[in-house]
Amino acid sequence: MSAEQYLEQKCQALQQQYDLLIEKQSRLRCDFAIAADTLIRFQLEKQIEQTEAELNELVQQLDDLEQALSSRKVYRALLKLGYREQTRAFRRFIETHSVAAFLIYGSLYYGQRWLLNRLLVQNVPNIITGKVVRIELSRIARRSDSAALWRELAARVGLERQSSISEIAERVYQWWRTQNVLLILYDVDCLSETFLHELIRDFWLVLATKVNATNPQGSQFKLLMFLVDYDGCVGSWDIPFVEKLDPNWKPDNPVKLPEIDQFSDNELTNWLEYAADELPTKLIDRLDETVQTILKNSDNGIPEPALGEICHLSGCNWYDEEEKWLRL
């Protein structure tokens, strides 16, 4: 059962309780109107008050559920907006290879984290339930000090902080033999070009080589690594990225997904028409006005402000929903 189906069933059950309480309240009021005994009237009055309190609580629960259902529809619609080139490229590699590293890059506020979650939720949702290692490089990394990253990565995989890079790779490899493994390095733009090159050469290449020697295509488990750049600079670095899948590609070389761009007015218009059933009618009835409002309040289509504006127009708050929608 999906989360949405669960919410709908719960909403139906609460609605049935509400209808029964309304009927009970009506009968109590009728009994109160014709009762002559003071004690009976007092007892009926208290029962009416209790019923009204239960009704108010149910109304609040129903409102919360309806808001949750509305937010789920908006979320489902947003999963269809933009990022088509990145999604197609990711699917080409992931459908033929179980081991790969990917660069997600673009300017600040272009929705890198949203895209990461979207790619995984829509294409490899099971990987989120395996071993997940997340490191925010902006917190620990200095461009000239690689030791901080290796200490952090060692600790994240359950090793002593002074463990060697080969030991870290071995631990991740052993994980992969029994389960899905997901490695996410946020803020790779905080590293130097030289350091990122060393990370790929000394860690990912070693790990991918060990996995390839074990016939990864015969394994039921996936090993994926994501390098997330919030500055848009890493794509131009002299790193051995590949952009297109060809028969000679090996997972040793990370894949550079297309750079994230702004949402265009045509893209937003087509999306609103396509996702009409998931969105409030008012957004579709004034389609051109809706598109211009989104563009105006997102610096001409910058993804994250655009997503926030769409949520606002749909009656939900992007910042409240973000932590529910983004599991990684």
Q: Give 269-311 pLDDT, tens digit per residue.
A: 999 999 888 888 999 999 999 999 999 999 999 999 999 999 9
In terms of Cβ atoms closer than 10 Å to its own Cβ (0-12, 13-18, 19+), residue 7 is middle
Question: What are the tokens at 218?
Answer: 């015969």
Q: If you average pLDDT over residues 107-121, what whole number do you get?
A: 96
pLDDT digits over 132-153, tens only? Answer: 999 998 877 555 567 888 888 9
Supply the DSSP symbol for 301: T
- Total-model pTM: 0.83
What's the alpha-carbon Rg for the chain, to the nearest Å? 27
Tell me how many degrees the CA angle 9-10-13 measures, rounded to the nearest 5: 90
Question: What are the tokens at 207?
Answer: 């790990």
pLDDT digits over 211-261, tens only? Answer: 888 876 667 899 999 999 999 999 999 998 988 888 777 888 899 999 999
| C-alpha span between 20 and 285 (Å, rounded) | 37
Look up the CATH architecture of domain 86-256: 3-Layer(aba) Sandwich (3.40)
| C-alpha span between 267 and 22 (Å, rounded) | 47
| C-alpha span between 93 and 230 (Å, rounded) | 23
Domain boundaries, the chain: 3-34+42-78, 86-256, 265-325
Task: Say if residue 264's pLDDT is above 80.
Answer: yes
pLDDT digits over 84-104, tens only? Answer: 999 999 999 998 888 999 999
| C-alpha span between 210 and 33 (Å, rounded) | 82
